Chain A
Amino acid sequence: MINMLNEVAMVALALPMGALAAQLSQSLYRRCRLYLMARCIWHISAMIMAEEEPSDKEMRGLRLRFPMDLILDSALFISERIYGNSLNRLVLIIEVCELDYYLVRQIDRRSGESRVNNLSKLSSLPYVATMAEYASDYIESDHRAIRFHATAALVSARPDRAIRHIVRFNDSLTLYEVAVLEQLLRRTGAPIAYTPLLLSENRNLQLLGIYICGTLLAVDAEPHLQRLAESEDGEVSYMALQTLCSVRGDISTAQARGAVLRLMPHQRLSFLLHAVQNCYSLRSCAHLLTAEERTLFSQRINSYKCRMVCN
């Protein structure tokens, strides 16, 4: 009996200890990696900021000092924070260290979420147009996220063919995916023409166009947004209406009124909040709202005003 009790006690002690040991080892690993990454970032930044261009030997030296995945993560970290001519030197480092080939090998070897992760890294690497053709192998993948990130990599590498690649993506884009594509287009520095996107019949292109209008606060796109607010696709209509609100467009038109009438109750309230945020007055929204919503709207507006009268 005492033996059994001892064994139970041993298990009771061993399990939390094992859990804590696993935690500790993981914590140590993470800290070591963060330290190494900080050093790697420092080395790459020094090379980028140096007056003279670093030699190939110096750049290859990074591969001896740090693991490849860490150099890749550091390069991505830096690429998100610099622009202009500094990027050219980073591209040089990527080519000399063969980070792009390493990434492509990783994409081939891994599967599932790891492949998604690596494809998204490929889309974030600057100026690796030659590598983009590897991403085209995964456009027909069964995994939706892989399909999308392969498309994103292609869009990033060849922004002039972005529309073609987005049209080839058959699934409906979510708002997050639209935001990723918009960010990639913006980072490549290519001129973003939103009018052809808004005039397109393709739903994904319409969503992207609307999103770009919202980001750039494109006031001149208001007629197109009014037209898209009438769209039969609920998501496009809702996005167009919200963006119309963001660009401070006229929401008293028949198209906007029709779009508001078609909204679900929670979407109406969400739209109302958005209108308050964008400084619309009660008078400009009164015809869109019910009596109850009007009260709510005025209360919301008043709750942003300084209290002047005592009750």
Chain B
Amino acid sequence: MQLISALFFALSLLSLVGAVVFVAVWYRSCRLTTIVCRMREGIAHIGVSAVVEYPETSAPLIALLEEEYPRSEAIVITDLQHPLHSLGELVGRYHLIRVNHTHLEGVRALYRSRHRAFRRVVLVDLPAEYRGAALDVGKRVASYDYVLHLQGESIVERNVITYCANLIASQHSVTSLSLRSIVGSDAHLEKATTKRPNGYLRLRTNHALAWQKRGRLFAIVALLLPTAMALTAWLFDSVLMFVSAVVSMVAVGLFLYVSCRVVTEKGLFLRLDTMWRNFYRYLVETVRNFHYLYKESKCDGEELEKGLSVLRNRQRRDNRNAL
């Protein structure tokens, strides 16, 4: 029992150290933001393309269109034939026209706006089966060097792209850089024109409760650990375990506080709402992933080929209908 208590105590101390580092990184990126993020105009050739993967509504696109930075664009990747996502109306609303997309594998159609006011809007019709290649397609469509990658219903805050461009311009060389999460959940910025590590800029958001791919596991551990410790302390009447539970709760409290401040700055209730929505999305995505896993295990090579040929035929038919 003592060994388990000591182990839990070490774990809780580790989580506290993690929380302190998290706060330090956040504070450092706050300072960086106050020093460099002042330019509202376009900075030389630096431009940022925001890629939104499979949003369910047009809210993320509308948030991106409010961006003031001149060298920016919003690329929405969606499956226009999906029964639940009704983004087909975007074509009419933003005066989109079909452009050539023969070099993009799997893409049904590529739309750009012909209206001057919406010249930043790009819509990619990519079947949901190619979801894994969405970011790659986004990079190949992007007009600018840097890609801000957003997933689902992530709604970025105002002037996020301006901040990103300022941070990029304030670097002498292309290095990795911690960025205060001025964006919503599930967002990261990377250079579109390269895959090489030495020419690679990655501005990651550092908030654990935003349910990023790596952050999910960590967040679950952070929530389950104090609960387990409190239960064990109650069952075995251990003081060390009680101290561990309190320490880990302090750590979780720090994470919670910074994450609340980081996720969005719009208001308290919106912040709570964002956190709950993230949690809900996490649950839904987990169930959905299991569903896909189950489907893929039944799918053999022949079925895949058959599916692809069906997709190709559908694409040809779409092209014919478009004319």
Stretch in contact with the other chain, from A21-29, A47-55, A58-66, A191-199: A21-29
Q: Decide if A12 touches B249 in the complex (CB within 8 Å).
A: yes
Is A236 positioned at the interface, with any CB of B under 8 Å from its CB? Answer: no
Q: Decide if B249 touches A23 in the complex (CB within 8 Å).
A: no
Is A38 positioned at the interface, with any CB of B under 8 Å from its CB? Answer: no
Given contacts A303-B103, A304-B112, are A183 and B245 in contact (CB under 8 A)?
no
B233: contacting residue among A4, A177, A214, A307, CB under 8 A: A4
B45: contacting residue among A5, A19, A23, A274, CB under 8 A: A274
Within 8 A of B (CB), among A259-311: 264-267, 269-270, 273-274, 276-277, 299, 302-307, 310-311
Q: Decide if A18 touches B253 in the complex (CB within 8 Å).
A: yes
On chain B, the residues within 8 Å of A270 by CB distance are: 45, 145, 193
Is A145 positioned at the interface, with any CB of B under 8 Å from its CB? Answer: yes
On chain A, the residues within 8 Å of B237 by CB distance are: 1, 4
Q: How far is the CB of A92 from chain B (nearest CB, A)?
A: 26
How many B residues touch A, CB cutoff 8 Å? 60
Is B34 positioned at the interface, with any CB of A under 8 Å from its CB? Answer: yes
Q: Decide if B234 touches A4 in the complex (CB within 8 Å).
A: yes
Q: Decide if A19 touches B256 in the complex (CB within 8 Å).
A: yes
Q: How far is the CA of A176 from the CA of B169 in the complex (A)?
A: 5
Is B268 positioned at the interface, with any CB of A under 8 Å from its CB? Answer: yes
Given contacts A16-B256, A175-B169, are A266 and B196 in contact (CB under 8 A)?
yes
Q: Decide if A8 touches B169 in the complex (CB within 8 Å).
A: no
Given contacts A269-B193, A305-B100, are A11 and B249 in contact (CB under 8 A)?
yes
On chain B, the residues within 8 Å of A4 by CB distance are: 233-234, 237, 242
How many A-B contacts are there with CB distance less than 8 Å? 148
Q: How far is the CA of A265 from the CA of B198 in the complex (A)?
A: 11
Is A120 positioned at the interface, with any CB of B under 8 Å from its CB? Answer: yes
Q: How far is the CB of B142 from chain A (nearest CB, A)?
A: 8
Within 8 A of A (CB), among B21-75: 31, 34-36, 38-39, 41, 43-46
A-B residue pairs in contact (CB < 8 Å), sample of 25: A8-B230, A16-B253, A23-B260, A23-B261, A23-B271, A113-B31, A113-B34, A120-B38, A172-B172, A174-B170, A177-B170, A214-B45, A242-B44, A242-B45, A266-B174, A266-B194, A269-B194, A270-B145, A299-B102, A302-B100, A303-B100, A304-B99, A306-B98, A310-B323, A311-B319
Beyond the given A5-B230, A174-B169, A311-B102, could you list 17 further A-B residue pairs with CB under 8 A, ordered by the A residue number? A8-B234, A9-B230, A15-B249, A22-B257, A23-B257, A24-B268, A27-B267, A120-B38, A172-B172, A180-B38, A183-B39, A239-B44, A273-B143, A276-B143, A303-B99, A304-B99, A311-B319
Q: Which residues of A contact B (CB under 8 A)?
A: 1, 4-5, 7-9, 11-12, 15-16, 18-20, 22-24, 27, 112-113, 116-117, 120, 145, 172, 174-177, 179-180, 183, 211, 214, 235, 239, 242-243, 245-246, 264-267, 269-270, 273-274, 276-277, 299, 302-307, 310-311
Q: Which residues of B contact A (CB under 8 A)?
A: 31, 34-36, 38-39, 41, 43-46, 97-104, 110, 112, 141, 143-145, 166, 169-172, 174, 191, 193-194, 196, 199, 226, 230, 233-234, 237, 242, 245-246, 249-250, 252-253, 256-257, 260-261, 267-268, 271, 316, 319-320, 322-323
